[in-house]
C-alpha cells in the first residue's frame, strides 16, 4: 500500500477525539458499512472521501449519533501525516489521543517504512537502500526521502531534473538524481515497508516566481545541448514554456499565491492564459519578435 492510499481517521465521541489510520478496505468495512446498509449510501460516502484526493482541505464527515462522528480523508503526503500524528487537525478544545490498536496493520507498517513513530517523530530506524534503474518522465511526482514530493517539470538530462515542490511551489534543479527503494534494516522487504524515493547529489534552488527564472540558462548549463537554430525551434521552446506555466496554474495541490504568481507570469510573457489563443498567436508569429530581435511594442492581453 502506498502512503497516499492511507486513510486518516478521527472519531469524536462526546468531545473526546481518537485518531487512527486505516486502509481503504478497513475504512469501508469498519466505518462506512457500520453506518449505512444501503449500497447507494455507501457509494456516496466513498465518493465524498475521494474528494480529499483533489482538495487538501476536505474531510469526509459521517454522523452516527448526536454525540458521535467520524472525519476522514486520504493522506496527501508525509507532512500531512506528521501533522495528523501531532494532533494538528484536532479541535484544540477537545482531548485527543492516537490509538494504534484501531489502526490497520498495513498502515503501521507504512509508518515503520518511512521512519515515523505514532507521535509523528523520527523513529531512528536504520534502512537498507537499493538503487533502482528508472527513466524519469516529465509530469510524474517523485518522493524525496526528506519527506517532500516533487513534480518533474522538465527533464534536463537523464539525471538532471527541473522539479517543483508540490507543497510550496519551490523550484529546484536537482543534479545527479538517483532512484532508490529502501526498507527497515533487518526486516524482510514487503509492499508495506518498502518506500521508493529519490536523492540527488546537490540542488540549486530558485524563486517561486517563474518569470524571474532564466530557463534557457538552466537548460544550457544543466541540460542536454539543444541549440535553437530555426524559427520552429524557437516556437517549440515557447510552447514548452507556456505548458510549463499552465501546469503550475492548474495544479490542485499548490498554494494559491504560487498559482497566482504563475498566472501573472503567463500573461506577462504570452498575453493570454488560454491555450487556443496562445496557439493562434504562436502560429501567426506574434512571439517571433524575440527570435528576430525586434523591439517589443504595446501589447493587448486576452483573458
Per-residue model confidence as pLDDT tens digits over 142-175: 988 877 889 898 888 889 999 988 877 888 999 9
Residue that finishes a domain, picked among 201, 222, 243 = 222
**Using an 8 Å Cβ cutoff, are 169 and 258 in contact?**
yes
Q: Give, for 45, the enclosing helix (H) or strand (E).
A: helix 39-54
Domain containing 244 equals 231-292
Q: Hey, which bits of the chain come out as E strands? A: 7-13, 16-22, 60-65, 68-74, 95-98, 127-131, 141-143, 149-155, 160-165, 171-184, 195-206
Number of residues that this document lists for the chain: 303
Residue that finishes a domain, picked among 114, 141, 162 = 114
Distance of alpha carbon 71 from its chain centroid, rounded? 22
pTM of this structure: 0.60
Q: How many CB atoms lie within 10 A of CB 30?
A: 14
Residue that finishes a domain, picked among 92, 114, 136 = 114
For residues 235 and 186, membership in a common domain is answered with no
201 within a domain of the structure (yes/no)? yes
299 within a domain of the structure (yes/no)? no
Q: Could you report the per-residue pLDDT of 99-143, keeping only the tens digit for each? A: 999 999 999 998 988 888 998 888 788 889 999 999 998 888 898
Give me the pLDDT at residue 6, please: 94
Which residue from 64, 63, 65, 62 is spatially nearest to 73, judged by alpha carbons?
A: 62
Q: How far apart are CA 30 and CA 24, in angstroms?
A: 10
DSSP-derived secondary structure letter, 92: T
Q: How far apart are CA 82 and CA 192, in angstroms?
A: 18
298 within a domain of the structure (yes/no)? no
Give me the pLDDT at residue 228, please: 55
Give me the pLDDT at residue 163, please: 92
For residues 140 and 53, membership in a common domain is answered with no
For residues 47 and 69, membership in a common domain is answered with yes
**Using an 8 Å Cβ cutoff, are 114 and 78 in contact?**
yes
Q: Which residues of the chain have pLDDT under 70?
A: 1, 224-229, 253-255, 257-258, 292-303
181 within a domain of the structure (yes/no)? yes
121 within a domain of the structure (yes/no)? no
199 within a domain of the structure (yes/no)? yes
Amino acid at each position: 500500500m502506498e502512503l497516499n492510499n492511507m486513510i486518516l481517521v478521527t472519531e469524536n465521541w462526546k468531545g473526546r477525539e481518537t485518531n487512527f489510520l486505516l486502509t481503504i478496505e478497513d475504512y469501508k468495512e469498519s466505518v462506512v458499512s457500520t453506518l449505512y446498509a444501503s449500497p447507494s449510501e455507501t457509494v456516496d460516502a466513498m465518493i465524498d472521501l475521494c474528494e480529499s484526493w483533489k482538495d487538501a482541505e476536505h474531510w469526509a464527515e459521517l454522523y452516527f449519533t448526536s454525540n458521535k462522528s467520524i472525519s476522514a480523508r486520504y493522506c496527501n503526503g508525509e507532512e500531512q501525516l506528521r501533522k495528523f500524528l501531532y494532533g494538528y487537525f484536532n479541535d484544540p478544545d477537545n482531548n485527543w489521543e492516537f490509538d494504534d490498536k484501531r489502526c490497520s496493520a498495513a498502515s503501521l507498517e507504512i509508518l515503520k517504512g518511512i521512519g515515523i513513530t505514532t507521535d509523528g517523530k523520527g523513529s531512528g530506524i536504520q534502512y537498507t537502500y537499493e538503487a533502482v534503474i528508472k527513466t524519469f518522465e516529465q509530469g510524474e511526482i517523485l518522493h524525496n526521502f526528506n519527506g517532500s514530493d516533487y513534480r518533474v517539470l522538465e527533464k534536463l538530462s537523464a539525471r538532471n531534473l527541473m522539479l517543483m515542490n508540490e507543497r510550496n511551489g519551490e523550484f529546484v534543479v536537482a543534479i545527479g538524481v538517483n532512484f532508490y527503494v529502501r526498507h527497515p534494516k533487518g526486516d524482510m522487504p514487503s509492499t508495506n515497508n518498502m518506500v521508493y524515493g529519490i536523492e540527488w547529489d546537490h540542488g540549486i534552488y530558485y524563486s517561486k516566481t517563474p518569470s524571474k527564472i532564466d530557463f534557457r540558462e538552466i537548460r544550457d548549463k544543466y541540460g542536454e545541448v539543444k541549440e535553437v537554430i530555426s524559427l520552429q525551434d524557437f516556437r517549440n521552446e515557447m510552447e514548452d514554456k507556456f505548458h510549463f506555466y499552465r501546469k503550475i496554474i492548474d495544479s490542485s495541490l499548490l498554494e494559491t499565491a504560487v498559482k497566482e504568481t504563475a498566472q501573472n507570469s503567463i500573461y506577462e510573457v504570452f498575453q493570454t492564459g488560454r491555450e487556443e489563443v496562445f496557439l493562434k498567436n504562436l502560429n501567426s508569429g506574434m512571439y517571433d519578435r524575440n527570435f528576430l530581435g525586434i523591439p517589443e511594442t504595446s501589447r493587448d492581453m486576452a483573458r
